Amino acid sequence: MTTIDDSELSAAASGNAASDRFALDKGGFDSVKNTPVERVDMLAREVLTAVHETIRKHQVTYPEYNALKAWLIKLGHDGEWPLFLDVWVEHALEEVTTAHRKGNKGTIEGPYYVPNAPELGPDATMPMREDERGDRLVWDGTITSLDGSPLAGKVEVWHADDDGLYSQYAPGLPVWNLRGTVSTGPDGKFKISTIRPQPYMIPTDGACGQLIAAAGWHAWRPAHVHFKVSAPGHELVTGQLYFPGDPHNADDVACAVKPELMLDPKPQPDGSYMVIYDFVLDPVRG
């Protein structure tokens, strides 16, 4: 496995890093080994039928078909299957799999999560460079169960830096930069000091960027802070928090913004921002 630091900042470098990461953490088919043949048949057939219907409806040509083939081959070469799926497909999955929750539902995970980030106490400063640029952000919160009782749990946090870059997916950053695992005590409380990330542009020099340019779309996601919140006996909540006023809150390329994920940062006299955001976790269904 090549590491990102052998590479240039490019779509293929971040794409292949995301593909390698996926293979390491989630790449097996084991989790669906008991899926009945009828369900595979139904899902595959309905997706293919939707493709056939699009071809008939719009009289798709051979040059267009060959462009699709070339594009899919390039998507693989660039390692951008995780990026493509997480940007344009994951939001629908997230919607159907969290609809039952009474507590926080969250939003998509995206391609840049890395497990086992450094463990920090309940009063945490995110790993960052001494000269890390960006406005300071201090986030206070509590994890509780649906019935209001506090939970000893974990808040895993990861986000881009002031240049919109994620550690382990762009060269030249410390491995765990702006990635951490914050634990709460029995009172469920945590406090996280970090920097406020900038809007994020998905890589434009690979296959996903080619699609965006050809379709006249844009590549922007609003600034966001990713989280995974967990506690024993409760459903894991994966999501992202957003900042009011971001120009891309209303047209996120990944369709992952929800009003309940909007922060309310309060500017402080020293130029930093303070914010409170709490989590309510659903007990696992018995």
User: Which residues contact ligand MBD (rule: CB under 6 A)?
Assistant: 83, 86-87, 108, 110-112, 200, 202, 221, 254, 256
User: For the residues of 136-152, what is the DSSP string, one character each?
Assistant: EEEEEEEEEETTS-B--
Rounded CA-CA distance 207/79 in Å is: 9
Report if residue 127 touches Fe ion, rule: CB under 5 A: no
State the binding partner of 86 from ligand MBD, Fe ion, none, CB within 5 to 8 A by kind.
ligand MBD
139 and 194 in contact (C-beta within 8 Å)? yes
Binding span for Fe ion by CB under 5 A among 19-27, 110-118, 140-148, 270-278: 110-118
State the binding partner of 111 from ligand MBD, Fe ion, none, CB within 5 to 8 A by kind.
ligand MBD
Interface residue with Fe ion among 15, 79, 106, 110 (CB under 5 A) is 110
Report if residue 197 touches Fe ion, rule: CB under 5 A: no
129 Cβ neighbours under 8 A, 6+ residues apart? 174, 177
State the binding partner of 87 from Fe ion, ligand MBD, none, CB within 5 to 8 A by kind.
ligand MBD
Q: Which is nearer to ligand MBD, 112 or 231 (CB)?
A: 112
In the complex, the smallest distance separating the C-beta of residue 142 from ligand MBD, rounded to whole angstroms, is 25
Q: Count CB atoms within 10 A of the CB of residue 156.
A: 21
Report if residue 82 touches Fe ion, rule: CB under 5 A: no
In the complex, the smallest distance separating the C-beta of residue 242 from Fe ion, rounded to whole angstroms, is 11
Q: What is the DSSP letter of 192?
A: E
In the complex, the smallest distance separating the C-beta of residue 149 from ligand MBD, rounded to whole angstroms, is 31
Separation of CA 145 from chain center? 24
Separation of CA 162 from chain center? 17
Residue 193: Cβ-neighbour burial (10 angstroms; 0-12, 13-18, 19+) = middle
Binding site for Fe ion (CB under 5 A): 110
